[in-house]
Structures are given as structure tokens and as C-alpha cells.
Amino acid sequence: MKTMSYNILCAGSPPRRYWTARKELVARMIRDAAPDTFGLQEAHDRWMSYLVSALPEYAYVGIGRDNGKRMGEYSPVFYRKDRFRLLEEGHFWLSETPGIVSFGWDAACRRICSYALLEETATGKKLAHFNTHLDHIGVKAQLEGARLVASQARKFAGIPTILTGDFNVFPYSEPYMAVIESGFTDARKQAALSTDQFTFHNFGEPLDGAERRETIDYIFTRNIETVSSFTVLTDRPDGKYPSDHDPVVAEFEL
């Protein structure tokens, strides 16, 4: 089985980075990788409408973080309709009041996590996939958000579970370690074949006077014994950057 995490950038500026200038490239990246499930970050409603039409083999769970409907960025989980059926879906805000639309702690934005409990139709095997995007400013929100997601994932104890996302923190940071200490494993470290390639590149251009090459996008696993490969996809379709992040992909045995 294969899963992916991809921050596709909500809009982008200047115009060549606007989402409409990149949408076919993003869809091609996903289509070529052919994941069985994938989580996106910064997917606003127009992104979602486009991807549903461009990738009809997938269904998704997800809602907008700003009103619990269609407003604001989604953190959706997509899954192949021909391989899985949806048993349960859920959404919660990364805050002290996760059941309602809310800001959490010192976060600059509302943040949300969506999840899907899936059943492989051919075998009856179950898989839970959680997907989120931690805050980019609030240090407390990053830590508490990571703890909250890990805690919510315990409801599927014993079931193979994937957690994908743009965590906006580096490996071995406090939020990263909170996820690891909860029982998840970093697929990059777990995989038999892996890479140390960074994930955020800012379209290959300097940011704030410095080159930005950072690893902040992750795939975590729990109750999954074998991860055969972990890859950062650095393809540049037509010589162009689809997003300011490269997607990460893991292959594993369900």
C-alpha cells in the first residue's frame, strides 16, 4: 500500500505561483504517484472542487477549518474508491475546544485535523488515516496540537494507523517527539529504503534573505510493522514547481 502527504499551497504569489497556474501540475504529481490514500494541507474549497474532478478515482473526507463547512483550508484525507470503503470519518480543531470551530492556544490560524477509518473491500482489513497541519507561529499550539492529534488517534488502538501532515517543526523537536512518544514511528526512519531529502523549498528561492531547505512534512505510522520505502518526490513537471513543498510518499504492508 502507498500513502502520501502533500502541502499544495493555498494560493501563492506572484501570479505564476497562484493555485490556478499550478493545479494541473499538482494533480499530475498525485496521479503519477498513485497513492492509495493521501493527506493534503492548504487545500481551500476551490482546490478541493478541482481535485475531485481531476482525480475521480478518489473520494475524500474533510471540511473547511474556518466554519466547519467550506470556508478556510481543509486538511482532507483522500482514498481510492475502488479499494476502500469508508467506515467512519471525523474532524476536530486543534484547540482546547476541539469539537467546535476555534483557535487553539497561541495559534495564528484555526487548525484542524480530519480522519478516515477505512476498510479494504477485498480483505476486510482496516486502516485509519489522520491528516493535519500544525500552526506555523504558535509554539504552544504546535506542541499541544501534536499531543491532541496523537491522543485522538488512540481511539483506533490496535488498528494500523497513518498520521500525515505539515507539522511546521523539525525532526526531534518537542512536537515531533510528542508524536513519537505517543506510539507513532516516523516512516522516514522506519523504511528499509529512505532518504534525507528536505521537503520545504520555497520554490527554490531564498526567504527572508536565507535559503530555505527544511524537513517539516511527515508520515507517521502505528501498528504497521513493515515500511518498505519512504520517498520525497522532487519531480518538476515541465520544469516547474507544483508547490513550495515536495510531497512525501511511504509504501508499507497493511
| Residue 118: per-residue pLDDT | 98
The cell numbers describing 176, all together, are 515531533
pTM of the model: 0.97
Total count of domains within the chain = 1
- Note the pLDDT tens digit of each residue in 185-239: 999 999 999 999 999 999 988 766 555 679 999 999 999 999 999 999 999 999 9
- As a whole number of angstroms, the distance between CA 199 and CA 194 comes to 13
Low-confidence ranges of the chain (pLDDT < 50): none
According to the model, what pLDDT value does residue 88 have? 98
Three-state DSSP state, 231: strand
CB atoms within 10 A of CB 85: 11
* Longest Cα separation, the chain: 52
- pLDDT of the residue at 37: 98
Domain coverage including residue 169: 2-252
We report the CATH number of the domain holding residue 57 as 3.60.10.10
Q: At what angle do helices 139-152 and 174-181 cross, to 10 degrees?
A: 10
pLDDT of amino acid 83: 98
